[in-house]
Amino acid sequence: MHPGTSVAAVVCAASVLLISNGCLSMAMVEDKITALPGQPPVSFAQYSGYVEVDAVRKRSLFYYFAEAELDPATKPLVLWLNGGPGCSSVGVGAFSENGPFRPSGNALMSNEYSWNKEANMLYLESPAGVGFSYSTDPSFYGGVGDSMTARDNLRFLEGWFAKFPQYKGRNLYIAGESYAGHYVPQLAQRMVEFDDKEKLFNLKGIALGNPVLEFSTDFNSRAEFFWSHGLISDSTYNIFTTVCNYSRYVSEYYHGSISSVCDRVMSQVTKETSRFVDKYDVTLDVCISSVLMQSQVLTPSPNVSFFSITSAKEMYVTLSLTDNFLQSTEQLNRALDVCVEDETMNYLNRKDVQKAMHAQLNGVPKWTVCSSVLEYKQLDLQIPTINIVGALVKSGIPVLVYSKGVSLERGLMAVLVGVSPHRSGDQDSVIPLTGSRTLVHRLAKRLRLNATVPYRVWFQGKQVSSGPSPSYNIGHRYRRSLHSCQAQAMVGGEAETEAFFSSHLLPDVQVGGWTQVFGDALSFATIRGASHEAPFSQPERSLVLFRAFLASRPLPESFE
């Protein structure tokens, strides 16, 4: 069957193919992955393939789906979208951040903090032109914007549910980071409108990590971040905030005319910050090939055709020098493989991997982390999606915004709206936490939401259980003894609360970040020590946040 097939007949007769909770569609059978080359043994099912979203222009979107490790029939469905615009959720999200595997040489290593421990994870490469997703009409790539992307993403979900009918009605969440601050709210808005006519989506919340929500506030917060982290001098900070700020510079670039004054200011900022510092995590060692690419993309110039606000690990925009960049797969940081996406690119360009994933290259010579053919509408960056977030909250859709937090180590700041997080890291200078925090506070004020949880720390402990947890509110204080870190409720501590923490926390309990909740739907949180891609730089703390998000629980409150 052609990989662009959108709907297949469901067989429930004599030749029934049974799965744990329903019938298996023929399309689902064809998309099932027997095993990825080099993967360790796993107990969960994997699928990947195409869903056609436009039969006329032959446009199909590629997905990778990893069912939950345990009890997939009872776990929610989470759609993950990376940003860019134009970067791969499969390459970045699934294979570098929160998916079940990470490439290492010719093999795949298990990710012990994979989000499929808690949910069925669906990764979508969108729009067409990204990764393995394609259009047979090349003219499509010339005018893609937010509206088209949201429409195609909605069509994808309709087609995907036709392939996987057993997931209809399942609790559904949408999560993403960076430019997904546009993708996710706009898709959620269309889903709500769609369900007004035809009930298909059981949308329970959205989570936004280091999101772009409002152009000027998000971008202009970079100056304070650069200065407070020692990346620029006092004098440069002054001209960066009074003479030409970042939003003005980017706006001039998008309109094709950079003023001489902004050119001088940005040249000075670029000189001081250095191209050999990862702007998505200013404390992390760098992968040489990625950081050289990043320096080309973060500082727009007439020689660069694509300006992306996405992570350094999403920076594989094809430039003339790409193949000559120094390649290094050395683990430059003992805790993190900062070249993981170099390895991902090598892995996903293997023919045996593409065959196993039912993927094909259409109109491009190789798979890249960020699209080399897509010409996204740059001015769509200025659409204030924070207004859509507000409308979703008012309609009862929980939204979580998370971001990196400011600390001496890499951190992640999360903004949570309802049960959904908007998350980012405190060492991310591209979408700094200060901008996200300001936007969330403004939204809470506009919606007249009072702070129901004051600004406070939350705690992280090693996760030792992924099974179902009891239903309760974590609105208690906990005592930590000198010899054991067993949590004991100080106020209103039910036995089930103590049982939950004794099964989920081991003695190494640390501050995971900070959080604040407004009303019963909007929350703000940080992940301490995280970067622009929190699940990559702080996988354990990100999983704690993700678990609380899905369970509609506040983050663990305090220990003494």
pLDDT in tens, 139-194: 999 989 999 999 999 999 999 999 999 999 999 999 999 899 999 999 999 999 99
Q: Assess whether 304 and 405 both reside in one domain.
A: no
Are the C-beta atoms of 503 and 540 separated by less than 8 Å? no
Q: Which residues pair with 299 in a beta bridge?
A: none
Range of the domain at 232: 216-346
User: What's the pLDDT tens digit per position in 431-474?
Assistant: 668 888 899 999 999 999 999 999 999 998 643 333 433 322 22
pLDDT at 529: 72
pLDDT at 495: 53
pLDDT-derived band at 477 (thresholds 50, 70, 90) equals very low
- Map tokens 């200013």 to a residue: 282
What dihedral do alpha carbons 244, 414, 331, 91 form, nearest 10°?
A: -90
Give SS3 for 259.
coil
Q: Is the pLDDT of residue 116 over 70?
A: yes
Are the C-beta atoms of 397 and 192 separated by less than 8 Å? yes
Q: Which of 420, 532, 537, 542 is catalytic?
A: 532
pLDDT at 314: 35
pLDDT-derived band at 256 (thresholds 50, 70, 90) equals confident
Chain centroid to CA 538: how far?
13
Higher pLDDT, 275 or 156: 156
pLDDT at 46: 98
234 burial (CB, 10 Å; 0-12 / 13-18 / 19+) is exposed
Determine, yes or no, domain membership for 209: no
Determine, yes or no, domain membership for 188: no
pLDDT-derived band at 283 (thresholds 50, 70, 90) equals low
pLDDT at 531: 61
Closest residue by Cα to residue 532 from 360, 313, 321: 313
Q: Is the pLDDT of residue 498 over 60?
A: no
User: What's the pLDDT tens digit per position in 481-490?
Assistant: 323 333 333 3
Closest residue by Cα to residue 97 from 394, 349, 310, 276: 310
Q: Assess whether 407 and 524 both reside in one domain.
A: yes
pLDDT at 478: 30
Domain boundary among 346, 361, 383: 346
Q: CA 310 to CA 431: how far, in whole Å?
A: 9
Q: Assess whether 411 and 313 both reside in one domain.
A: no
Q: Assess whether 403 and 342 both reside in one domain.
A: no
pLDDT-derived band at 210 (thresholds 50, 70, 90) equals confident
23's CB contacts (< 8 A; 6+ apart) are 10, 11, 12, 16, 17, 165, 166
Closest residue by Cα to residue 126 from 62, 77, 74: 62
pLDDT at 112: 93
Polymer length in residues for the chain: 560
Q: Assess whether 287 and 409 both reside in one domain.
A: no
Q: Give the residue-averaged pLDDT of 89-111.
A: 94
Q: Give the residue-averaged pLDDT of 506-527.
A: 85
Q: Assess whether 300 and 406 both reside in one domain.
A: no
Q: Assess whether 404 and 263 both reside in one domain.
A: no
Closest residue by Cα to residue 78 from 130, 116, 131, 125: 116
Q: Which of 428, 466, 476, 504 is catalytic?
A: 428
Determine, yes or no, domain membership for 500: yes
Determine, yes or no, domain membership for 303: yes
At 156, list the tokens. Answer: 């994808």
> Is residue 532 annotated as part of the catalytic site, yes or no?
yes
Closest residue by Cα to residue 385 from 83, 63, 79, 80: 83
**Residue 283: φ, ψ to 5°:** -105, -5
- H-helix segments, 69-166: 146-163
Q: Assess whether 255 and 320 both reside in one domain.
A: yes
Q: Which of 178, 247, 251, 542 is catalytic?
A: 178
In this predicted structure, which of 222-226, 465-469, 509-513, 523-527 has the lowest mean pLDDT? 465-469
Higher pLDDT, 81 or 506: 81
pLDDT at 499: 52
Determine, yes or no, domain membership for 66: no
Tell me: cis bond preceding 556? Omega within 30 of 0 counts: no
Q: Assess whether 403 and 277 both reside in one domain.
A: no
Give SS3 for 345.
helix
Q: Assess whether 327 and 264 both reside in one domain.
A: yes
pLDDT-derived band at 207 (thresholds 50, 70, 90) equals very high
- Map tokens 């010409």 to a residue: 375
Q: Is the pLDDT of residue 520 over 50?
A: yes
Determine, yes or no, domain membership for 329: yes
**Residue 168: φ, ψ to 5°:** -65, 135
Count of domains for the chain: 2
Q: Is the pLDDT of residue 413 over 50?
A: no
- Map tokens 């220990």 to a residue: 559
User: What's the pLDDT tens digit per position in 59-80?
Assistant: 999 999 999 999 999 999 999 9
Q: CA 251 to CA 81: how far, in whole Å?
A: 25
Are the C-beta atoms of 109 and 40 separated by less than 8 Å? yes
Are the C-beta atoms of 527 and 534 separated by less than 8 Å? yes
Q: Which residues pair with 425 in a beta bridge?
A: 412
Determine, yes or no, domain membership for 1: no
pLDDT-derived band at 353 (thresholds 50, 70, 90) equals very high
What letter represents residue 449's amino acid?
Answer: L
Q: Is the pLDDT of residue 548 over 50?
A: yes
Q: Is the pLDDT of residue 334 over 90?
A: no
Q: What is residue 12's DSSP assignment?
A: -
Q: Give the residue-averaged pLDDT of 349-361.
A: 98
Q: CA 177 to CA 500: how far, in whole Å?
A: 29
Higher pLDDT, 412 or 366: 366
> Is residue 178 annotated as part of the catalytic site, yes or no?
yes
Q: Give the residue-averaged pLDDT of 409-414.
A: 28
Q: CA 95 to CA 85: how far, in whole Å?
A: 18
Q: Assess whether 334 and 416 both reside in one domain.
A: no
> Is residue 428 annotated as part of the catalytic site, yes or no?
yes
Residue % of the chain over a pLDDT of 90: 51
Bridging pattern class, strands 134-135 and 202-209: unpaired
Q: Assess whether 515 and 407 both reside in one domain.
A: yes
pLDDT at 221: 82
Angle at 207 between CA 201 and CA 212, to 5 degrees: 115
Domain boundary among 346, 364, 382: 346
Q: CA 103 to CA 95: how far, in whole Å?
A: 7
Give Cα separations from 463 to 399, 502, 507 (angstroms): 24, 10, 11
User: What's the pLDDT tens digit per position in 298-328?
Assistant: 444 433 333 344 433 333 332 222 233 223 2
Determine, yes or no, domain membership for 271: yes
Bridging pattern class, strands 202-209 and 399-404: parallel
Q: Is the pLDDT of residue 235 over 90?
A: yes
At 203, list the tokens. Answer: 């949308």
Bridging pattern class, strands 134-135 and 59-66: antiparallel
* Average pLDDT of the chain to the nearest whole number: 77
Q: What is the pTM of this model?
A: 0.76
Q: CA 533 to CA 96: how far, in whole Å?
A: 9
Domain boundary among 346, 379, 412: 346
Higher pLDDT, 337 or 140: 140
Q: Is 116 left (phi over 0), alpha (psi -120 to 50) or beta?
A: alpha
